[in-house]
Amino acid sequence: MSWYRNAVWFVKGLREYTRGGYESASKHFNPADVEVDVAGRCFLVTGANSGIGKATAKEIARRGGTVHLVCRNKERAEVAKEEIVAETGNQNIFLHIVDISNPKEIWKFAEKFRNEHKLNVLINNAGCMVNNRELTEDGLEKNFATNTLGTYIMTTALLPLLEKAADARVITVSSGGMLVQKLNISDLQSGSGPFDGTMVYAQNKRQQVVLTEQWAKAHRNIHFSVMHPGWADTPAVRSSMPDFYERMKNSLRTEAQGADTVLWLAVSAEVTKLPSGLFFQDRQPVPTHLPLASTHSPPEDEEKLMEVLEEFSQKFKSTCPG
């Protein structure tokens, strides 16, 4: 059935995920939802030096929020910070250099951050699509390390801070590609069989949806959401999916259009009227499974994913200096 899932997803994408889909959906948006002042609220955005992360950070800064940019590349991050400050006039923009594929770095950062800052909203945007199987210095497959384990550790490490915050939220940027994947906990690091970076990425994005649903059940005073930004023209898409980019470049969303729902989830009062743990596209909750796609997984698999990630998490926490 994988051919069926892929075909349905692509047809759905051509209709909904492109710039035309955004323009159609946005006719029903209420502009007042995001015309808000968030001065005094603190936001952390991972992968914030380009693409959807930077576009989100910039719009939050325009609305007066304190924004913590978490980026891997220091030079590009400093350029992004300068641009955000210059365009918004907001000086409360702070930069942290962290490699989200490195669990020990995340733990070290999060423990320091918890002691020095407050946090209202965490936006897990950092991600990667590595098309050949590549291991990190810790021996982790890089897509899994960044997209799944990195997201898990960053979130769980900052939960104590979020638990103390007013109107706390966690937003994770996933992908509609996850619709073609059923949760597979037997090979989390894609070590068996041929390696397909696009499908590994889609599996990671399915894992992020499951994480969000599980966190929502466990942490009732934090609002969790996960979203699909549509197909946007970002540096990551250009570098990781060059053939797709060439084919679709005239139909791709802008970075700001891709970031719109992230911003809405981060700042709108309407969001918390909806249940925690939902998957969003263009400011609307949408199903996490295609019709007839057989991508539902048993609860015990979802619980096992959380257990395995917690084991990984604690292993790297225990080796974290300090």
Catalytic residues: 201
Q: What does 257-314 look like in DSSP terms, one character per residue?
A: HHHHHHHHHHH-TTGGGSPTTEEEETTEE--SS-TT------HHHHHHHHHHHHHHHH
Closest to 156 (Cα-Cα) out of 203, 199, 117, 214:
214
The DSSP call for residue 127 is -
Closest to 144 (Cα-Cα) out of 194, 98, 195:
195
CA-to-CA separations, 169 to 105, 134, 161, in angstroms, rounded = 23, 32, 11
How many Cβ atoms are within 10 Å of 148's Cβ, its own excluded? 27
Residues 69, 48 contacting (CB under 8 angstroms): yes
Structure tokens at 94: 């702070």
Q: What is the signed CA dihedral for 49, 55, 56, 62, rounded to 10 degrees?
A: 110
Q: How many whole angstroms separate alpha carbon 102 and alpha carbon 138? A: 8
Closest to 138 (Cα-Cα) out of 13, 317, 12:
317
Q: How many whole angstroms separate alpha carbon 258 and alpha carbon 280? A: 12
Query: CB neighbours of 75 closer than 8 A, spacing ≥ 6?
Result: none
